[in-house]
């Protein structure tokens, strides 16, 4: 039985229901609406009591508190905090700017997604249609917006604004391999890394824009019924774009790997195992995310093809082929590698500082506080040459030479040879200084 308070709510909220001329309702009308049938709202009030209202109030407060907590709950929060500590909160470093922006922007996406829980109900019609789209039985009421697509305001907040924050944050972090490669590769081969990074970024911009093509005015049809068909078709294209993102991610990672391998390392002749290389050489850390993408790409490709097969030949468009947890795992591996790479670079620098000091002192050089190399009065023509065969760095003057690469049969008191393991360490130092 409706109380006087319930009747007052109905009269007060009637203007927020779109019951007539639904196809003519404005964007603002839809995102501020509570439903498409006020009778459904009346029915809902009739089956609830004061305790339910109190629970709703508690839930709203809980959602707001949880949304404030979302940045701490963020998947990479503790990784981010660890890197901040290791870098002593020096936000002037490019890597710190990237990690900070990645954290803030993606966290805002999580906050927007959580705030979507403030819209748990949307009061609409639920009708059954025949093949000619005619209603074949009396419509029922639907109260709950259990997915963002069922509430126009929730759709805008979580799947347009929230998704934009998520992918912009990812795009910022996607620049990390490019900037890291740029720090040590100075020739034209860096252009292909720029190109693949641009393609990768554009694929993510495409999915942001695509979410704005499904307006909140299109989520419900002229009868005030949730438009399953339109939303299902939206997600067909959505998964195709995600497939493109994964392909472009894999290509980007492999490109960075190849450019680094060609211009900085030639480690095939090393006898070190993969785990040792993973620890000391950045290119192998990049390779991991590319391999994971390559392994799961066939699965995603087959799923998309099967989904289209059933839609085209069987007209089934509501089959649930979602593998979103796997997709998120694949996507997040490359961001885990940013933090792992930074940790290994920092510790590599610390572990090999004694080696560098001893090495440079033997040839009359000393690394200064900012990581550059200063010569003493005996050295007039020092130069550092990066050769593609990575035998590698030649710091020379008239009497002293340092060759970083594989051991050579030449050995005298004026030559110092550094093996491949030391090369990896010194590269880590060069990269750390240049990029940080």
Could you tell me if 271 and 312 lie in one domain? yes
Task: Of 124, 376, 334, 306, give the one whose Cα is nearest residue 228.
Answer: 124
Task: Please identify, among 334, 351, 368, the residue that sits at the C-terminal boundary of a domain.
Answer: 351
Contact 417, 425 (CB under 8 A): no
Ramachandran angles phi, psi of 277, nearest 5°: -65, -40
Could you tell me if 347 and 357 lie in one domain? no
Could you tell me if 243 and 253 lie in one domain? yes
227: left (phi over 0), alpha (psi -120 to 50) or beta: beta
pLDDT tens, residue order, the chain (436 aa): 788 888 999 999 999 999 999 989 999 999 999 999 999 999 999 999 889 999 999 999 999 999 999 999 999 999 999 999 999 999 999 999 999 999 999 999 999 999 999 999 999 999 988 877 888 888 899 999 999 999 999 999 999 999 999 999 999 999 999 988 888 888 888 999 999 999 999 999 999 999 999 999 999 999 999 999 899 889 889 988 988 998 999 899 899 988 888 876 654 445 666 677 677 776 777 778 778 878 887 887 888 888 888 887 877 777 776 777 777 888 888 899 899 988 888 877 666 555 444 444 443 444 444 444 444 433 333 333 233 333 333 333 333 333 333 333 434 444 444 444 444 454 555 555 545 5
Q: How far apart are CA 395 and CA 362, in angstroms?
A: 12
Could you tell me if 338 and 406 lie in one domain? no
Could you tell me if 87 and 134 lie in one domain? yes
Range of the domain at 24: 4-351
Q: Under 8 Å CB-to-CB from 322, ≥6 apart: which residues? A: none
Could you tell me if 131 and 53 lie in one domain? yes
Task: Please identify, among 351, 373, 401, the residue that sits at the C-terminal boundary of a domain.
Answer: 351
Number of folded domains that form the chain: 2
Task: Please identify, among 332, 351, 370, the residue that sits at the C-terminal boundary of a domain.
Answer: 351
Could you tell me if 276 and 382 lie in one domain? no
Could you tell me if 378 and 291 lie in one domain? no
Helix or strand run (H / E) with residue 123:
strand 121-126
Could you tell me if 365 and 325 lie in one domain? no
Query: What pLDDT is attached to residue 272?
Result: 64
Could you tell me if 168 and 109 lie in one domain? yes
Could you tell me if 371 and 225 lie in one domain? no
Query: What pLDDT is attached to residue 359?
Result: 40
Could you tell me if 378 and 339 lie in one domain? no
Q: How far apart are CA 169 and CA 209, in angstroms?
A: 15
């Amino acid at each position: 039985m409706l109380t006087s308070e319930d009747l007052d709510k109905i009269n007060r909220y009637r203007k927020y229901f779109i019951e007539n001329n639904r196809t003519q309702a404005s964007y603002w009308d839809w995102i501020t609406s509570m439903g498409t049938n006020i009778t459904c709202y009346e029915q809902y009030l009739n089956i609830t009591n004061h305790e339910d209202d109190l629970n709703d109030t508690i839930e709203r407060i809980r959602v707001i508190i949880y949304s404030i907590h979302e940045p701490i709950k963020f998947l990479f929060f503790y990784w981010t905090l660890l890197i901040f500590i290791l870098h002593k909160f020096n936000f002037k470093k490019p890597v710190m700017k990237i990690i900070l922006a990645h954290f803030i922007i993606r966290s805002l996406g999580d906050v927007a997604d959580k705030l979507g829980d403030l819209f748990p109900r949307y009061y609409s019609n639920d009708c059954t249609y025949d093949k000619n789209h005619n209603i074949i039985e009396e419509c029922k009421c639907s109260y709950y917006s259990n997915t963002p697509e069922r509430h126009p305001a929730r759709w805008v907040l979580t799947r347009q604004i929230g998704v934009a924050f998520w992918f912009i944050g990812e795009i910022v972090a996607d620049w990390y391999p490019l900037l890291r490669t740029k720090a040590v590769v100075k020739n034209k081969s860096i252009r292909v890394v720029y190109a693949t990074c641009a393609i990768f970024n554009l694929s993510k911009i495409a999915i942001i824009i695509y979410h704005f093509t499904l307006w909140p005015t299109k989520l419900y049809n002229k009868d005030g019924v949730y438009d399953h068909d339109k939303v299902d078709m939206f997600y067909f294209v959505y998964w195709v774009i995600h497939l493109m993102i994964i392909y472009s991610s894999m290509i980007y990672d492999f490109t960075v790997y190849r450019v680094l391998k060609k211009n900085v390392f030639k480690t095939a002749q090393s006898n070190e195992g993969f785990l040792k290389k993973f620890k000391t050489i950045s290119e192998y850390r990049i390779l991991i995310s590319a391999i994971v993408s390559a392994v799961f790409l066939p699965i995603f490709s087959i799923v998309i093809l099967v989904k289209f097969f059933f839609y085209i030949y069987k007209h089934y468009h509501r089959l649930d082929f979602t593998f979103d947890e796997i997709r998120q795992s694949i996507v997040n591996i490359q961001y885990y590698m940013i933090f792992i790479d930074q940790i290994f670079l920092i510790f590599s620098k610390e572990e090999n500082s004694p080696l560098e000091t001893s090495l440079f002192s033997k040839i009359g050089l000393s690394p200064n506080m900012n990581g550059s190399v200063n010569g003493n009065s005996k050295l007039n023509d020092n130069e550092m040459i990066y050769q593609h065969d990575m035998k590698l760095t030649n710091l020379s003057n008239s009497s002293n030479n340092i060759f970083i690469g594989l051991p050579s049969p030449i050995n005298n008191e004026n030559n110092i040879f550094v093996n491949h393991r030391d090369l990896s360490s010194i590269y880590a130092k060069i990269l750390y200084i240049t990029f940080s």
